[in-house]
Structure 1
């Protein structure tokens, strides 16, 4: 039925989304910094890979890469089906709550990871499980973008959400830095002995995410399946057969959607790698202390947040593809500078590393709006599940190449080349994909029903 291919954003034409609903939605991004900035980038992964109690840096970095890669493979297998089932059940917000709660528990569990080679596996295991459920939560959260934006505002709303994530990271990192990590004796008498400053920071990060997730659950209405796109519910394993038919239909009706999913499978995985291993490289290759990593993280989030806010408006004016292509080229140039000048010390990482951050946020935000302008109504969760599977959820690519390059060449800085290779391949695949421009066009001639 052609009505099944009506765009979700088309159904939002002429509507006015209350500003408080947009802010409530974006607060989940604000809170997600507890996992993205604190856990997987600048604090806990640095603690795992630079604290000698867990083992040598090259070994712990490799274990971390393989652990995150495995979690991405799990998500790749289940994200589209779980998204599809949240579409059909009309329980998108419910599953956002459940998956977020599990991530919060995983973050809190990191408190028990004290420096020990044995506990390295507990830390990586909690990171892996947290990554799985964070990605599943993000499927439902990204699908809700269509509920809080219109064809004229989707770029700005998406950019606002991403920027909120960066600014949330700034605030939380500053609290952790001055409250626990920088002082010899922090709040509540916490010291760095046995990694206690980092471990207590994980408890605060868990609370931060929990509280920040509440507004979207309270202020944004539960998703209701549009009557013209309702489909019968099926069992979990039967959902894979439905998924296969839906992907085949996308290939027939909107081939550029499939090609974009493939391109983003590569370059967004590289974008994830930039932030996931940025703090690890700062400490292991450029000699940053734990405190210096956090100071860099604050500066990086300021740069990324401001650039994402500005470019969100540009996205609505010129379309998402020019934004993505420009950002990827900027990332490649900056990354090559970091690699070839790595002997130049911290000044190289400060300059070229911040340049990398200038481009990461706009590329991530524009990728989300690119797909939002294409996704059929009533299938947002399913398609964003594919987006997770083929993009950020497929995190086994960049971490595995990061780990493989370190394993082959024996030095941590070679991991940079693994990440840049992922970005370059994604850019090459993206270039021929037709842009959706500024407003959703038709899919297979289908017109909006309202």
Structure 2
């Protein structure tokens, strides 16, 4: 296929790029405070209460029966994560197609963000044994979160040319980690000041209100990108809004057929879905692993995640700089090698030893942001012009905590073995297989085949 060249985007000023960065700042509160730290242990505790276990029980082997299905209390949250991604399979690609055809993207960003934030705030009502309400609100929030990020990511190709996207994407991720870390620090102060020894209900209440705070943060800071971003209608924009949803469903079918013309883009997407599944599983279940298997205090987990967040700020910028020297794909492969080390090391962590858990968190922080930011910017090079929303809809299925194979695998292994350690080490396969597949994708050829101009380094 002949190279047509990437259309030169209208110059995006500092104000617009800052507005784009700030949606990462806004939504990272959900990723960090809710998904990574509080929701897993919180919803597991609520589920264990529903199963008849005491709130301060060291172990709970009881089961619950949502919709008549027998589920181990410890597997409920991992299964919810898997269910959420199965639902997003239908929602996110359609949202991407709608974004490409909508004359205005910012109302879509506002709608999805505020729905997710509202569901998060509604966690205030998850008390006692209301594990089903907690699960439903999580599904709504997580799906809305993914849909909003699809719209958000579709702005990236219009903000920078091919040689600048790695830098712009890395800055967005870095600022997101900083924002998530700031709110988590505030929650750490609250947990430290108000936790009472011998009062597990107080700890549970603090976790619930920390989750609510993330919803408030998410909604408040979403106002900045809504004010500062400019509209960038996709090449498929209809110029009107009345049929955009119907047209989006119709266009989705066309996209699925058209994607077969870009097998190298699909090859990269397949590799990404596998290795990012492993990354997202570690992120979403690390807190549950630390609480249930390593018997660490909630304050220890929060401190560790703070270490991850603030080191990820620097790590995203560091790997972004490395990509300017060796290329984005090679930098991602380096990060996947480090992820392998992290997963294997996690299996051997001693219980009740917070220092080792914190050191492992430091390693995660250095590689987490860069691997995700560079994957996002590299994928933007592989998308045919005007199809950003549609393609990022498929991309987002395995991003920002919406992986499904990893949590499902983790949950099944726990249910069969009652061992979180075996669950965590099983994730090695995702990094190995994803890395090998990525290494065999000819990136420059894939960019040219998509009709885009390759950056200087690939």
Cα offset, 1:236, TM superposition: 5.0
Which of residues 175, 189, 192 is equivalent to 2:186?
175
- 1:61/1:41 CA distance change after superposition, 3 Å: farther
Structure 1 equivalent of residue 167 of structure 2: 156
Q: Distance in 1 between matches of 2:428 and 2:228?
A: 40
**Greater Cα offset, 136-145 or 239-248:** 239-248
Which of residues 248, 258, 279 is equivalent to 2:257?
248
1:119-268 equivalences in 2 (<5 Å): 119-178=130-189, 180-184=190-194, 193=202, 195-226=204-235, 236=245, 239-240=248-249, 242-252=251-261, 254-268=262-276
Structure 2 equivalent of residue 405 of structure 1: 413
Aligned partners of 2:307 and 2:358 also within 8 Å: no
- 1:373/1:235 CA distance change after superposition, 3 Å: closer
1:360-379 equivalences in 2 (<5 Å): 360-379=368-387
Q: Deviations over 1:172-197 (max 9, x none)?
A: 0111111x2111379xxxx9637322
Which of residues 82, 107, 111 is equivalent to 1:69?
82
Aligned partners of 2:100 and 2:386 also within 8 Å: yes
Cα offset, 1:146, TM superposition: 1.5
Q: Does 1:443 align with 2:430?
A: no
Q: Secondary structure at the match of 1:378?
A: coil
- 1:390/1:171 CA distance change after superposition, 3 Å: closer
Cα offset, 1:10, TM superposition: 3.6
Q: Secondary structure at the match of 2:79?
A: helix
Cα offset, 1:315, TM superposition: 2.5
Aligned partners of 2:188 and 2:299 also within 8 Å: yes
Q: Secondary structure at the match of 2:19?
A: helix
Cα offset, 1:68, TM superposition: 1.3
Q: Secondary structure at the match of 1:11?
A: coil
Structure 2 equivalent of residue 91 of structure 1: 104
Aligned partners of 1:26 and 1:161 also within 8 Å: yes
Cα offset, 1:299, TM superposition: 0.6
- 1:109/1:323 CA distance change after superposition, 3 Å: same
Q: Secondary structure at the match of 1:43?
A: helix
1:270-419 equivalences in 2 (<5 Å): 270-342=278-350, 345-389=353-397, 395-419=403-427
Q: Distance in 2 between matches of 1:328 and 1:320?
A: 12
Q: Does 1:21 align with 2:9?
A: no
Q: Distance in 2 between matches of 1:99 and 1:238?
A: 19
Q: Distance in 2 between matches of 1:139 and 1:444?
A: 20
Cα offset, 1:444, TM superposition: 6.1
- 1:25/1:119 CA distance change after superposition, 3 Å: same
Q: Distance in 1 between matches of 2:202 and 2:122?
A: 18
- 1:232/1:185 CA distance change after superposition, 3 Å: closer
Structure 1 equivalent of residue 428 of structure 2: 420
Q: Does 1:11 align with 2:11?
A: no
**Greater Cα offset, 256-265 or 229-238:** 229-238
Cα offset, 1:443, TM superposition: 2.8
Aligned partners of 1:269 and 1:392 also within 8 Å: no
Q: Secondary structure at the match of 1:286?
A: coil
Stretches of structure 2 that go unaligned for 5 or more consecutive residues are 54-58, 62-71
Cα offset, 1:77, TM superposition: 1.7
Cα offset, 1:57, TM superposition: 5.5
| TM-score w.r.t. length of structure 1 | 0.88
Q: Deviations over 1:116-146 (max 9, x none)?
A: 3x31222122112111110011101111111
Q: Distance in 1 between matches of 2:171 and 2:397?
A: 24
Q: Distance in 2 between matches of 1:341 and 1:202?
A: 28
**Greater Cα offset, 241-250 or 155-164:** 241-250
Aligned partners of 1:40 and 1:127 also within 8 Å: no
Q: Deviations over 1:308-328 (max 9, x none)?
A: 012123324432111111111
Q: Distance in 2 between matches of 1:277 and 1:83?
A: 28
Stretches of structure 1 that go unaligned for 5 or more consecutive residues are none
- 1:201/1:334 CA distance change after superposition, 3 Å: closer
Q: Distance in 1 between matches of 2:393 and 2:432?
A: 24
Q: Secondary structure at the match of 1:166?
A: helix
RMSD, aligned CA: 2.9
Cα offset, 1:425, TM superposition: 2.3
Cα offset, 1:6, TM superposition: 5.7
